[in-house]
Chains A and B, each alone.
Chain A
Amino acid sequence: MNTVRVIELKKSVYESNNKEADQLREELKKGKTFLLNMMSSPGSGKTTTVLGTIERLKDELRIGVMEADIDSSVDAEKVAAAGVKTNQLHTGGMCHLDAGMTKQGLADIDTDDLDLIILENVGNLVCPAEFDTGAAKSVMLLSVPEGDDKPLKYPLMFSMVDALLINKIDCLNYFDFDIDAVKKRVTKLNPNLKVFEISAKTGQGMDEWADWLRKEVKEWNS
């Protein structure tokens, strides 16, 4: 009869992804490319925000976009029409991107001549927060119709991002959305969080958001 041995691992399940993400981040820093991880629920306005961001920054920064969806090229087509290098990733049912998948996606874009790559993550408030993609900074969108209680229901997402875009502020009159309550809730979870109030559709607040991003990219690539 074989003897039973106990092997102590104490190995974090996220450890290998975290290592891979750190490696990727270092490579991108060396190559002077800023990867922005953009997350939110489906339908919050990520693609429209990406388009508005490109419009404001394309004259100064060379931009690429990676779209991640379960299926369809709808987002990639919209972005490609704006004239930037775009890659559509189909995650094959996976509800989030991790460092490995991000690396694969980047391999298909020539990152050498790009200053900024926006990664539009899978529409999901739960899983993407747990997986480091190797991004320099991460941002999430919360749109007015979704409700001001989302920071209470999905604390992890709100606590690990660097910036929050409250989108669709042109609709504030139609919904019971308390912006001050959201700001109070997220500041408690994440004291250093930068909050921007925008409407990607009307352009309100987009300049301030683009200014912040431009500054971050220039700092990273210097």
Chain B
Amino acid sequence: MHEMGVVLNIVSEAEKVARENDAEAVGRLVLQIGELTGVVPRYVQDCYPGAIENTVLAKSELIIEIIPGNGICKECNKVYNLLEQDFKCPKCGGEDWEVLSGRELMIKEIYVS
């Protein structure tokens, strides 16, 4: 329901770039999904074939890179994975953190020919 909208958006952005670069076909699209975005990678993969039909990405492969949801403890500066540690510093137990990565939803690159 929701991932499809996101995937359609990604496909149209990639189409635009392919056109701007005079590409005939896109062979691969690399998408970075941050762990903290709530976007489910499996659903994105499932929606992809439907979204690329009849586009310049029709024969492309989707590669997903997961960006870890890391944060830094504001009390002791330890960097840790917020989800794995349940938003609590494994070193000092502090719950005052700042997100360093994991909020990205980014088209990293496309392979064209």
Contacts and interface: CB of A to CB of B under 8 A. Distances in A.
Interface of A: 2-14, 16, 93-96, 126-127, 130, 156, 188
Interface in B48-81: none
Given A126-B2, A126-B38, A188-B95, A5 B107 contact: no
Interface of B: 1-2, 5-6, 9-10, 13-14, 17-18, 21, 23-24, 27, 36-38, 95-96, 104-113
Given A13-B105, A127-B2, A4 B27 contact: yes
B105 A4 contact: no
A6 B24 contact: no
Contacts of B10: 13
Which secondary structure dominates chain A's binding surface? mixed
A105 B106 CA distance: 28
Contacts of B24: 2
Given A5-B23, A16-B13, A188-B95, A11 B107 contact: yes
A7 B38 contact: no
Given A13-B9, A156-B38, 9 more contacts: A2-B24, A4-B113, A7-B21, A7-B110, A9-B106, A11-B106, A93-B1, A95-B5, A156-B36
